Structure 1
Amino acid sequence: MITDIVSTTGMLLAFVVILFLAWQASRYLGKNAPYGNKGGKMRILEQLKVGNDQYIILLKLDENQYLLGTSQTGIQVLERFKEEKTNE
């Protein structure tokens, strides 16, 4: 009986340690991923969820802004806006 309790406790402790290590690894990989917005020319300005796996995204690339529609079937450019330069 005691060996069963010790065995179960050991398995539970090992499971908790594995979950903790997986959580730490996902945090580390999320911070150090080679993708994302780290000084690139492309930025997502806004994102709006409109349904299951369906989004409307406002994306800035150089002097252009794009309104994109995304779904499970793909990505579609809804509108393209050119930034106007002002002489001030």
Structure 2
Amino acid sequence: MTTELMDVLRTLFMTAAILVLAYLFTRHVASRSASGATGRLFRRSMTILEQIPVGKDQKLLLVKVGDDCYLLGCTPGGITCLNRFTREEAERWLSAEQQSVTPAAETFEQLLRNKILRQRPDGEGEEKNGRAD
């Protein structure tokens, strides 16, 4: 009887020890990747510059990859590249971001509005009351 009890206690102890070690290992791995330990191995060349929520589980992201910026639409169904801005096109926004003189969201809004206006057919890109339709 005592041998069976000892076997059950040993099994419970080993199970608890495995669960505790798995938890500690998971926390260790998560803290290393969050603190940027993997950044030493891989250079990070992608940065999220701005996020704007546009609906439930939907947002627009402005992401810098190398010298280019991308406007991405994120939904639960996937990620879509809406536009690519070259360094020259995004230079004004990036300089405002670095200098923090102009609010970044306002500049991003202006950049997006200008891009939308350029893509519309003739005559439809006019602004009314300072806003684009």
TM bucket, shorter chain: 0.5 to 0.7
Is the partner of 1:74 in helix, strand or coil?
strand
Whether 2:20 is the aligned partner of 1:12: answer no
Residue ranges of structure 2 left out of the alignment (5+ in a row): 96-133
SS at 1:83's partner residue?
Answer: helix
* 1:15–1:4 distance in 2 versus 1, CA, 3 Å: same
- 82 and 5 in structure 1: CA distance in 2 versus 1, 3 angstrom threshold: closer
- Quick check: which has more Rg, 1 or 2? 2
- Secondary structure at 1:20's aligned position in 2? helix
Amino acid at match of 2:91: E
Deviation at 1:28, TM superposition (A): 2.0
RMSD (CA atoms): 3.2
- Relative contact order, higher structure (CA 8 A, sep 6+): 1
C-alpha displacement of 1:75: 2.3
Alpha-carbon distance in 2 for matches of 1:25, 1:73? 27
1:32 partnered with 2:24: no
- Higher share of residues assigned strand: 1
Partner of 1:59: 63
Aligned residue pair count: 78
Runs of 5+ unmatched residues, structure 1: none
Instruction: Write 1 or 2 for the structure with the bigger share of helix.
Output: 2
Quick check: 2:72–2:79 contact (8 Å CA) kept in 1?
no
